Amino acid sequence: MDFNLDETQDDLRELAAKVLDRETTTSRLDAHDESGAPYDAGLWGSLAQAGLLGACLPEEAGGAGLGPVELAVVLRESGRHVAPVPLLQSLVTAMTVARYGSREQREALAPLAAGETVLASAPKAPGRDLGAAPAVTARRRDGGGGDWVLEGRTGTVPYGAEAASVLVPAVTRAGPDGAGGGTGGIGLFLIPRGAAAVTAVPLSTGEPGAVLTLEGVPGEPVGAADGEAFRGLCRLVTAAAVATVSGVLAGALALTTEHLRTRRQFDRALAEFQAVTMQVADVYIAGRALDVAVWSGAWRLAEGLVEEAEADLAVAALTATDAAVQALYTCQHLHGGIGVDVSYPLHRYFAWGKHHAHLLGGVEARLDTIGALV
């Protein structure tokens, strides 16, 4: 396996880095935090203009039709810059719709490529791990011949109130009229904005979140209700989250090494102390270990090697929830008191790392996943 990016992927990485270097300065991020806006609309437009929002969208929607590796490339740069935009949520939702949806649903993704809309998904049920059965149910209207309607509550959905559509997994009723109390498969359904009751739940990252309450809400099915689309969504969410954490850790390490290089104690730079260099080395090793699993999982996912990809992504998720979080604590420690100051940029990396660890389910859940796979 070659872990080097090919020419297209490397160009995509350089483009994303260039746009984000320009648009996510510390002053710009501070101004966004103070604005109270759900996301940086100017940055969102710049990403669209550069073609980064459309890179992984299907050609029917004006995209380039790229896959999971390119998704990881873009999201790693987003994490490295802690960019306050709904990139993970929108691209994962769009790629899932592109993979399992109809031609009309793929064509309807065009506004995202243009930066005119936001998408979101609700892969986790309240109190359940990623990949567990949804708490939402779906049934047919009118004795089984009508449209699908959904009942239940989702977990917290980042940008759930801002999204034009939210992709919601639901357990379908076994009976054609929903009678009998049994359950069928798991399907994915698009819920348009305004159809569900929304309860705001702000996230630790500073991003807006929402819980959707569904009471007879119509849902547009995406693919068959056989569970495969739901599993595909969970795989993409995992790949996207671990790629983001990889970038977050890289950004935190760069900030920390610069601090250690310039900060002096006892007439010496902190970087000259052996104990400090050993701790920085631990952070670097955690980042490299995560990178290997991320790229291996994304590559195998792109090649259709689903079982192998799930194993690699499970290792990446464990690293993201355990070693990577511990590495972020180390970065905080090496900064001293300023490391916990919310006016200092490091706090964004720490918040993002913890948030994505929570999305992935935590250490015990990831160990359970690996145990089940082996």
Same fold, 121-225 and 229-373: no
**What is the phi/psi pair of residue 148, to 5°?**
-80, 140
Tell me yes or no: is domain 121-225 CATH 2.40.50.140. no
Give how far the C-alpha of residue 148 lies from the chain's centroid of Cα atoms, to the nearest Å: 27
Tell me yes or no: is domain 229-373 CATH 3.30.70.260. no
| pLDDT tens track for 36-54 | 999 999 999 999 999 999 9
Domain chopping of the chain, boundaries: 7-118, 121-225, 229-373
| pLDDT tens track for 57-75 | 999 999 999 999 999 999 9
pTM reported for the whole predicted model: 0.93
For every residue of 282-319, DSSP letters joined together read HHHHHHHHHHHHHHHHHHHHHTT-HHHHHHHHHHHHHH
- Matching CATH number, 7-118, of 3.90.1150.10, 1.10.260.40, 3.40.50.720, 1.10.540.10: 1.10.540.10
Angle at 60 between CA 169 and CA 185, to 5 degrees: 20
Residue located via tokens 């966004």? 32
* Residue type present at position 225: A
Beta pairing partners, 191: 166
Mean pLDDT of the chain: 92
**Which structure tokens are listed for 274?**
């052996």
**Which structure tokens are listed for 309?**
């990809």
Burial class (CB in 10 A: 0-12, 13-18, 19+), 110: middle
For the chain, 374 residues long, the average pLDDT of each consecutive 10-residue run is 83 97 95 94 97 95 94 98 97 97 96 96 91 93 78 96 97 59 78 94 90 95 94 97 98 93 79 86 96 96 95 96 96 88 90 94 87 85
